Amino acid sequence: MAIWSMFASAPEKVATDGLASYPRAIAEELGQDTEHEVRPCTTNPVEQSHRRIKHRYYPTLGFSEFEAAQRFCRAVDEVGDFLRPQSRMSEFVSLSDRRQRFMTGVEELEALFQAA
């Protein structure tokens, strides 16, 4: 079963960091019509999407169990999304306002952790 089968159709373009095994995997899983674009890590949205997870698990030398990695990734994503300032793309949010929103989120998280 193809990975993308849960979606309506395969994507038109896939961006990767250029690992040698990607072209064949993309052709087999997504089809020959899918364009493969190679981008450096800094401009690749897929590589940037898991940056905060990578920064936290590298010092621990990885995980011994898949379930532990799954719990860790879910927690990092939920906490990160909770602390991210909620604003529109075009809305300017001052640094002091972002700091206040962040500190309010941290206080709410601390209250949740102490209640648990």
Q: In terms of pLDDT, which residue wins out, 16 or 87? A: 16
Cβ atoms of residues 35 and 13 within 8 Å: yes
Res 11 pLDDT > 60 = yes
> Which pLDDT does position 1 carry in this prediction?
47
Res 7 pLDDT > 70 = no
- As a whole number of angstroms, the distance between CA 12 and CA 26 comes to 11
Give 15's strand partners.
37
Distance of CA 104 to the CA centre of its chain: 24
**Residue 35 — φ and ψ, nearest 5°?**
-80, 135
H-state helical runs in the chain: 22-30, 45-49, 51-57, 66-83, 95-115
Res 70 pLDDT > 70 = yes
SS3 call for 13: strand
The tokens for 39 are 């981008």
CA-to-CA dists, residue 5 to 10, 12, 30, 35, 51, angstroms: 8, 14, 9, 18, 27
Considering 59-63, 76-80, 106-110, the range whose residues carry the highest mean pLDDT is 106-110
